[in-house]
Amino acid sequence: MAFGTIRNVRKVFSAGELISRSREPVVALDDASFDFEQGQLVALLGPSGCGKTTLLRIVAGLISKTSGSVNIGGREVTEPLGDYGFVFQSPSLMPWRSVIDNVLFPMEILKNNNKAARARANELLGLVGLSNFAHARPHQLSGGMQQRVALCRALIHQPKLLLMDEPFGALDELTRLEMNDLLLRIRHETGASVLFVTHSISEAIYLSDKVIVFSRRPARVAKEIQIDLPYPRSQRTRFTPAFTQAERIASEALGVLAPGSEAETGAAS
Ligand SMILES: Nc1ncnc2c1ncn2[C@@H]1O[C@H](COP(=O)(O)OP(=O)(O)OP(=O)(O)O)[C@@H](O)[C@H]1O
Ligand SMILES: [Mg+2]
């Protein structure tokens, strides 16, 4: 059995859960199914509002599903998972705490903030190139640096599963490319499985072993695309025919590109 199995997950927000004033139930996810192996990175790509964040929250056990099943590491998810890290679009660091104390925050919650945790926090900060900023305050860091701190915080308790919700969406293009390479490296070193939500077709392909393309809300899986680009990947990978081919398939699945023949699109044969 795969490490993660998402089967026919459906989510209807109703009555008590509704954030909007209307009393109409909202079908956020219609039918989502896919699997992933330990250590794989799966990118979730789909139009705004199609239910990607909802799905991540269901996988983490933070909200209930209406039907279907989610199994992580051999266990059905029925309550908040103990063993995952979450990275959001904004770093959401605590401004009054130093960088290292932000990274250590989950260990405080877990009542495990010991010497070994501090050593690991320093190691992670080294891995993301922030050793010299351990005692800085978040406001002294750039957006990209803050997001690196958030990544360390998500990894401090060595989770087997990392959930990332458009983590680099607010960054400038150059920083985003750097963060992509950093994530590939970290993932290689930690062996964590990653579910990575993004709006960017090229980011999805560059990072992942598999891209799940969702339809408009209520979301269904429109296409599952295996990404067989070799590792280690580098920015040059983006300019290979295999990359362009994957971009074309994803663009067609998203509906931003009308299906066409190889000849029409001028793709290399
Ligand atoms: N508590 C709630 N009550 C009612 N509707 C909700 C609730 N939470 C989410 N929704 C709706 O469910 C749909 C899916 O939301 P979700 O945040 O999962 O989308 P998303 O794919 O992450 O979008 P984006 O790419 O813009 O972040 C949206 O239409 C949203 O308004
Ligand atoms: Mg979202």
pLDDT value at 268 more than 80: no
Report pLDDT for 82.
81
Q: How far is the CA of 46 from the centre of ligand 2 (A)?
A: 10
Please give the number of the atom of ligand 1 that sits closest to the Cα of 46. Answer: 21
Report pLDDT for 261.
61
pLDDT value at 1 more than 60: yes
* Ligand 1 pocket by Cβ (under 6 Å): 13, 17-20, 26, 28, 46, 48-54, 217
pLDDT value at 24 more than 50: yes
Cβ(200)–Cβ(166) under 8 Å?
A: no
Burial 146-155, CB ≥16 within 10 A → b, else e: bbbbbbbbbb
**pTM score, whole prediction:** 0.93
Q: How far is the CA of 51 from the centre of ligand 2 (A)?
A: 7
Please give the number of the atom of ligand 1 that sits closest to the Cα of 18. Answer: 3
Percent of the chain at pLDDT > 90 equals 82
CA-closest candidate to residue 147, choices 184, 189, 175: 175
Rounded Cα distance between 167 and 128, Å, is: 15
Better-predicted residue by pLDDT, 3 or 264: 3
pLDDT value at 57 more than 60: yes
Percent of the chain at pLDDT > 70 equals 96
Which residues have a Cβ under 8 Å from the Cβ of 213 and sit 6 or more positions away? Answer: 45, 46, 221, 222, 223, 224, 225, 250, 253, 254
Task: Read off the pLDDT of each residue in 72-83 and give the average, rounded to a whole number.
Answer: 91
**Nearest ligand atom owner, CA of 45:** 1
Which of 9, 10, 17, 26 has the most ligand 1 atoms within 8 A of CB, as the residue to mutate?
A: 26
Please give the number of the atom of ligand 1 that sits closest to the Cα of 19. Answer: 3
pLDDT value at 265 more than 60: no
pLDDT value at 263 more than 60: no
State pLDDT tens for residues 102-144: 999 999 998 999 999 999 999 999 999 999 999 999 999 999 9
Please give the number of the atom of ligand 1 that sits closest to the Cα of 54. Answer: 18
Cβ(134)–Cβ(98) under 8 Å?
A: yes
pLDDT value at 207 more than 90: yes
Q: How far is the CA of 239 from the centre of ligand 2 (A)?
A: 29
Q: Which residue's CA is the nearest one to ligand 1's atom 26?
A: 48
Among 20-34, 75-89, 179-193, 241-255, the least confident range: 20-34
State pLDDT tens for residues 151-186: 999 999 999 999 999 999 999 999 999 999 999 999
Phi, psi of 120, deg, nearest 5? -70, -40
Please give the number of the atom of ligand 1 that sits closest to the Cα of 51. Answer: 18
**Nearest ligand atom owner, CA of 215:** 1
Q: How far is the CA of 82 from the centre of ligand 1 (A)?
A: 24
Among all chains, which residue has been given the structure tokens 């929250």?
Answer: 57
State pLDDT tens for residues 31-43: 999 999 999 999 9
Q: How far is the CA of 218 from the centre of ligand 1 (A)?
A: 10
**Nearest ligand atom owner, CA of 19:** 1
Q: Which residue's CA is the nearest one to ligand 1's atom 23?
A: 49
Q: How far is the CA of 11 from the centre of ligand 2 (A)?
A: 15
Question: 3-state DSSP call for residue 7?
Answer: strand
Is the preceding omega at residue 232 within 30 degrees of 0, hence cis? yes
Task: Read off the pLDDT of each residue in 190-196 and give the average, rounded to a whole number.
Answer: 95
Report pLDDT for 218.
80
The whole-chain average pLDDT of the chain stands at 92
